[in-house]
Amino acid sequence: MPNSMGKRLKSLTLSLSIFTLIAIFLAFAAPSSQYELVQNINLKAKFLTTDVLNNAYIITNTDQVERYDTAGNLTGRYGESRYGKLSSVDASSAFNVLLFYKDYSTIVMVDNRMNVRNFFKLSSMGINNVSAACLSEDNYIWFFDQDASKLKKITNSYDIVHESIDLSQMLGMEVKPNFMIERDGIIYLNDPEIGVLLFDRYGTYYNSFVNPGLSGFQVINGRLVYPKDDELHVYHYARKELNKVKLPVTSASKGIQLQGNRLYVLTANELKIYEKK
């Protein structure tokens, strides 16, 4: 393990603000009875994420992305059917939101008004099979080239600035990610069959750990946060520690997001927003 990566991993807990640390502690320690339902929005959707401004982004069953504030108001919408089904939304930056269309290996970037800022058709690079994509921390783009089995990073000019080695060749098995995200200079690539693969900010493969079956997760304070059954699992992979938080709802969810003192739960017919009492 490179020393720089080891130091980065050890310093993850120091990089968050005091407010975030307190919010995480309260959320992880709180029983479900201490969450109060503050908004209940009727909608039909299949994907949920949030940004640091507490906005919720959902992908509707008609492949539009809609943004809601904490009062339950619809504050933005974007829909484009030319690119196929909308696969995922990365709202790591509330002012530069990434929309990924897997069918046509297309990425659309929208601003805080949900207007198009940039557009990337990766087939113009000869890349026609992209299985996952996310925003980099310097507002460029990471994606996984499935045919080459490589993680790649491009600029707004389509220049490839970083890429991994052939992962299938290195690992001796095909990697088929369904989700990826960058946090604190570490890229997390999730394969539901294999687990989570870690890379540094240059696309160099660093490590992996077994946690299969995940469709997605958040990374908060060096921990993976993801729903399972009627619980929120908080997994510290470096320490191999797992904590569980009882969720305030028992019905099957399509997405869970923790943001500050708010808990967002997407069900088949509703977006529920809870607040820590």
Structure tokens at 66: 């809609």
Q: State the pLDDT at residue 248.
A: 87
Structure confidence at residue 209 (pLDDT): 87
pLDDT (0 to 100) of residue 246? 87
The predicted pLDDT at position 231 comes to 87
CA angle in degrees (0–180, nearest 5) for 75-76-79:
155
Q: pLDDT at position 268, please? A: 87
Which of 41, 141, 144 minimizes the C-alpha distance to 99?
Answer: 141
Burial of 117 (0-12, 13-18, 19+ CB in 10 A): middle
178: left (phi over 0), alpha (psi -120 to 50) or beta: alpha
Q: How much is the pLDDT for 34?
A: 82
DSSP secondary structure letters along 130-169? EEEEEE-TTS-EEEEETTTTEEEEE-TT--EEEE---HHH
Burial 191-210 (b: 16+ CB within 10 A, else e): beebbbbbbbbebbbbebee
Domains of the chain: 3-276 (2.120.10.30)
Query: How distant, in Å, are the alpha carbons of 5, 145, 199, 204 from that of 164?
Result: 16, 10, 8, 5
* pTM of the complete model: 0.88
Predicted local confidence at residue 32, as pLDDT: 56
**pLDDT 10s per residue in the chain (277 long)?**
444 434 443 343 333 343 444 344 445 554 555 889 999 999 999 999 999 999 999 999 999 999 999 999 999 999 988 999 999 999 999 999 999 999 999 999 999 999 999 999 999 999 999 999 999 999 999 999 999 999 999 999 999 999 999 999 999 999 999 999 999 999 999 999 999 999 999 999 999 987 878 889 999 998 999 988 888 899 998 898 999 988 888 666 889 999 989 999 999 899 999 998 8
166, β-bridge pairs: none
Asked if residues 234 and 244 have their Cβ atoms less than 8 Å apart, the reply is yes
Please tell me the distance from the alpha carbon of residue 131 to that of residue 192, in angstroms, as a whole number. Answer: 12
